[in-house]
C-alpha cells in the first residue's frame, strides 16, 4: 500500500474486525482482555477512528504513559516558569508543553503576565533566536521521548560548534523502556499485551522490547497509526495469545527496523546520558527514566547554568492524570472530566496534549455523545 486512504479502506477494516471478533477468546464482562496502547498518538488514532465501539466488548484498550507532556511532573513545569520569568530570558518550547499546567499556571499564563515565552516548531528555531538575541538567555524546554531527543541533541551539537553561549536546554526527555518496566512492576497489573509505540520505535527499533516476552511472558506488537495498522496489530496480538505465543512483532515494518535508526541513536548518546532516576507523573521516580546532558555539554545544560527550585509538586487533588497514565482509570472516571477540566481550561496535562488520553476522550467520545444526546433530545 502506498497512499494514506488505502490504510483506511472500510472493506479491509471490516474484514480485520470480523477476524478480531472470531479470534477473541471467551471472557466474562468482569474479566476483559486488557491490552495497553503505550503511545498517546495511538490513543488519539484509536478514538479518532472510533475503534473502541467496533471491538469486542470483552477487549479493553488501556491507555499507557506514552504522552511526554502528560508524564512531565508539575515541578518541572514550575522550573520552566521560573526560568521564563527571568528578566533576560526567552523560554522556547513546543505548543503542548507551553499549555501544560504548573502549580502557579502554565508557560502561556506566564507569557500573559509578561514573560517572554515563544512556541517553536523546532529546537533550531530556539537556537536561531539565541543567535539574533545575543544579550538574552534562550532556554529550550525540551519534552519528549526518543522521538524528539535526536533533534534536540543535534541542536546542542550545532550550538557548541557555532560557539553560541546564550543557548541552553532544560531536558525533560524520557525513555520508553524504563517507563514500560515501571508499568510492569506495578503490583496487580492485569495487562495481557501491548501495542508498541510507533514513533519511538523508529528511533530505538523493535529489539529493546524483548524483555517483555522474555521476562514477563507478554506479547507486544509495534503498530502504525492508521486504522488498518491498529486493527492488524490487534489481530496479531490475538493470534499470539490464542496460539500460546509471546513475541515482539512489528506491524509497522514500513517505518521501524529491528535496530532502529543508528544515526538518531548515536547523536542521542553523544549528547545525553540516562539519569539515575527521573520522576514521571503517575509512576513516580523511574530508574533510568530520563535523559540529562552529558558533562561535556554542561555549558548548554539549563540545570547547570541556572538555579531552579527543582521541587516535587503534587497535582491538584481533583486531577486523576496519574491514574489515567498507568491505565488504572479512564478519563471519564475523573470527576473533573468535561466539567472543571476541558481543553480550553485544562486542570491536568492529559487534557492539554495532542497525545493526552483525556483530550482524546473529550475530542472523540464526549463530543460524539453530546451530539447524540442533542440529536435524540
Ligand atoms: Fe486530569 Fe482533567 Fe484528565 Fe481529570 S480530566 S485526569 S483533571 S486531565
Model confidence pLDDT, tens digit, residues 348-361: 999 998 889 999 99
Give the per-residue pLDDT at 375.
63
Q: Whose CA is nearest to atom 8 of ligand 1?
A: 348
Exposed/middle/buried for residue 376 (C-beta within 10 Å: 0-12, 13-18, 19+) = exposed
- Cα(377)–Cα(374) distance, rounded to whole angstroms? 5
- Residue 347 CB less than 6 A away from ligand 1: yes
Atom number in ligand 1 closest to CA 356: 8
Predicted local confidence at residue 85, as pLDDT: 95
pLDDT of residue 4: 85
Rounded to whole angstroms, the Cα distance separating 219 from 214 reads 9
Domain spans in the chain, listed from the N-terminal domain onward: 4-66+177-250, 70-174+290-305, 321-376
Give CA separation, 271 vs 18, 160, 254, 301, 334, in Å: 48, 11, 28, 11, 39
Determine whether the shortest distance from the Cβ of 264 to ligand 1 is under 6 A. no
Asked if 4-66+177-250 and 70-174+290-305 have one fold, the answer is yes
Pocket test for ligand 1, best of 65, 343, 351, 361 (most atoms within 8 A of CB): 351
CB 315 within 8 Å of CB 344 = no
Listed as ranges, residues in the chain with pLDDT below 70 are 367-377
What would the CATH number be for the domain defined by 4-66+177-250? 3.40.50.11750
Ligand 1 pocket, 348 CB below 6 A? yes
Question: How far does residue 329's CA lie from ligand 1's centre (Å)?
Answer: 10
pLDDT score, position 353: 85
Residue 292 in contact with ligand 1 by CB distance below 6 A: no
CB 241 less than 6 A from any atom of ligand 1: no
Q: How far is residue 344's CA from residue 279's CA, in Å, rounded to a whole number? A: 27
| Gyration radius from the chain CA atoms | 21
DSSP H helical segments within 163-301, as ranges?
A: 176-185, 199-204, 211-216, 227-242, 262-271
- The residue whose CB lies within 8 Å of the most ligand 1 atoms, and thus the one to mutate among 350, 352, 356, 357, is 350
Q: What is the pTM of this model?
A: 0.93
Q: Does 338 sit in the ligand 1 pocket, CB within 6 Å?
A: no
Ligand 1 centre to CA of 78 (Å) is: 19
* Residue partners of 213: CB distance under 8 A and separation at least 6: 219, 220, 246, 247, 248
C-alpha span between 246 and 331 (Å, rounded): 30
Place of cell 508524564: 71
- In the reported structure, the alpha carbon of residue 103 is separated from the centroid of ligand 1 by a whole-number distance in angstroms of 15
Compute the distance from residue 337 Cα to the ligand 1 centre, in Å: 6
CATH of domain 70-174+290-305: 3.40.50.11740
Q: What's the 201 CA to ligand 1 centre distance in angstroms? A: 28
Distance (Å) from CA 333 to ligand 1 centroid: 9
Q: What is the pLDDT of residue 354?
A: 84
Asked if 318 and 335 touch (Cβ cutoff 8 Å), the reply is: yes
> What are the φ/ψ torsions at residue 250 (nearest 5 degrees)?
-125, 100
Amino acid at each position: 500500500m502506498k497512499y494514506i486512504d488505502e490504510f483506511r479502506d472500510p472493506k479491509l477494516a471490516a474484514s480485520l474486525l470480523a477476524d478480531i471478533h472470531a479470534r477473541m477468546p471467551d471472557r466474562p464482562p468482569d474479566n476483559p482482555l486488557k491490552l495497553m496502547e503505550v503511545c498517546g498518538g495511538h490513543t488519539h488514532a484509536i478514538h479518532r477512528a472510533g475503534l473502541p465501539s467496533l471491538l469486542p466488548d470483552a477487549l479493553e484498550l488501556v491507555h499507557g504513559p506514552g504522552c511526554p507532556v502528560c508524564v512531565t511532573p508539575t515541578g518541572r513545569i514550575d522550573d520552566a516558569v521560573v526560568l521564563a520569568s527571568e528578566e533576560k530570558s526567552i523560554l522556547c518550547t513546543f505548543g503542548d508543553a507551553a499549555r501544560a499546567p504548573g502549580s502557579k499556571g502554565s508557560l502561556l499564563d506566564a507569557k500573559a503576565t509578561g514573560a517572554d515565552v515563544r512556541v517553536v516548531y523546532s529546537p533550531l528555531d530556539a537556537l536561531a533566536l539565541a543567535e539574533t538575541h545575543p544579550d538574552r538567555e534562550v532556554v529550550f524546554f525540551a519534552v519528549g521521548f526518543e522521538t524528539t531527543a535526536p533533534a534536540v541533541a543535534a541542536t546542542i551539537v550545532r550550538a557548541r560548534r557555532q560557539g553560541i553561549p546564550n543557548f541552553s536546554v532544560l531536558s525533560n526527555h524520557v525513555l520508553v523502556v524504563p517507563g514500560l518496566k515501571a508499568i510492569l512492576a506495578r503490583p496487580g497489573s492485569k495487562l495481557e499485551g501491548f501495542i508498541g509505540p510507533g514513533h519511538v520505535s523508529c528511533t530505538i527499533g523493535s529489539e529493546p522490547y524483548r524483555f517483555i516476552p522474555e521476562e514477563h511472558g507478554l506479547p507486544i506488537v509495534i503498530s502504525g497509526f492508521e486504522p488498518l495498522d491498529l486493527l492488524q496489530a490487534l489481530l496479531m496480538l490475538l493470534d499470539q495469545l490464542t496460539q500460546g505465543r509471546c513475541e515482539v512483532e512489528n506491524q509497522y515494518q514500513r517505518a521501524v527496523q529491528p535496530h532502529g535508526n543508528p544515526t538518531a541513536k548515536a547523536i542521542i548518546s553523544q549528547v545525553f546520558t540516562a539519569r539515575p532516576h527521573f520522576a514521571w507523573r503517575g509512576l513516580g521516580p523511574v530508574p533510568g527514566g530520563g535523559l540529562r546532558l552529558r558533562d561535556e555539554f554542561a555549558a548548554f545544560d539549563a540545570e547547570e547554568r541556572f538555579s531552579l527550585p527543582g521541587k516535587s509538586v503534587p497535582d491538584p487533588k481533583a486531577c486523576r492524570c496519574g491514574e489515567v497514565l498507568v491505565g488504572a482509570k479512564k478519563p471519564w472516571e475523573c470527576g473533573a472530566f468535561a466539567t472543571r477540566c476541558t481543553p480550553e481550561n485544562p486542570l491536568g496535562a492529559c487534557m492539554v496534549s495532542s497525545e493526552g488520553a483525556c483530550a482524546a476522550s473529550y475530542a472523540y467520545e464526549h463530543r460524539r455523545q453530546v451530539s447524540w444526546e442533542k440529536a435524540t433530545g
